[in-house]
Each structure stands twice: as structure tokens, then as C-alpha cells.
Copies of this chain bind each other. A is one copy, B any other.
Amino acid sequence: MTASNDVRKAMQATNERFCHDVIRDGRFDALSSIYTKGARIMPPGAPMVQGRGAIEGFWKSAVAGLGVTGVKLTIEDTEMAGDTVIEIGHADLQMGKNGTASVKYIVHWKQEDGHWRWDKDIWNMNA
């Protein structure tokens, strides 16, 4: 079963915080309203990173290192699993003078404090 419109809207709102607040505006503290407290991310070329503090450190360093200037997230598919959602999506990255990159991902979403947040986040490049 796909997620309801209400859940998808809440997911979109979280995704927009990532694109606008974190990536565009560099407000990395906003990650605490995007990831759950126990969240784990699994980035390509690095070991798994767990917990909000470590995740904030990862994104600061990754955005600076790659020169990411913009991200667009697109939800392709949602699937309810109990009271959680499994999402398949893709991200279009803009990287200043380095051009663009196309990324696909799975995010496992959970509700925490009344908000839909990323609990597990894994991605890789299409090329």
C-alpha cells in the first residue's frame, strides 16, 4: 500500500527542509528535524554513520568537499510497512562548477515527535 496523500505531504515537507534549509542555506542544525534520533546513513565510499551529531558532521564535510550547491529530491515510490514508510526516490545534485550528479536512494521513514523523519538513508550514484 502506498502512503496516503497526507503522509506524502509530510514527507515532502521534510525533504524540502533538507533541500532548502540544509543544502541551500547551509543550516545544518535543521538536520535534527529531518533525521530521527537514532538515524543511520550509509553513504557511498564511507562506513555507516549513526546518530544526529555524526550525521551533521558527515553532511557538513560532504557538502563542502563535493561543492554541492543544490539538491532536488523526487519521491518515486512509497510503501507503508506497519507504521513506517519505505521510499524509493532519486536526487539531482548540483555541484557548482563540477556539474550535476544523479543519485538513487532508499529511505526508511518513521514518525517521531509527530513528524515524518528519515531513520535509514542509503544511496548510490547512477553512473
Report which A residues bind B (CB closer than 8 A).
40, 42-48, 80-82, 84, 86, 88, 104-106, 108, 120, 122-127
Q: A42 near B104 (CB under 8 angstroms)?
A: yes
Assembly stoichiometry (copies): 2
Q: With A106-B106, A122-B105 in contact, is A45–B127 under 8 Å at CB?
A: yes
B123/A124 in contact, CB under 8 A? yes
Let me know if A44 and B124 touch, CB within 8 A. Answer: yes
Kindly state the separation between the CA atoms of A114 and B75 in the bound complex, as whole angstroms.
31
Q: Measured between C-beta atoms, what is the minimum distance from A93 to chain B in Å?
A: 15
Given contacts A48-B104, A106-B106, A108-B106, contact A43 B81 (CB under 8 A): no
For the complex, would chain A's binding face be called helix, strand, loop or mixed by DSSP majority? strand
Instruction: Give every chain B residue within 8 A of A47 (Cβ-Cβ).
Output: 104, 126
17 more contacts with CB within 8 A, not counting A46-B126, A82-B82, A122-B123, are A42-B104, A44-B44, A44-B125, A45-B125, A45-B126, A45-B127, A46-B127, A47-B104, A81-B84, A82-B84, A86-B108, A86-B120, A104-B122, A105-B122, A106-B120, A123-B124, A124-B124
List, in ascending order, chain B residues with CB within 8 A of A42's CB: 88, 104-106, 124
C-alpha gap A106/B119 in the complex (Å): 12
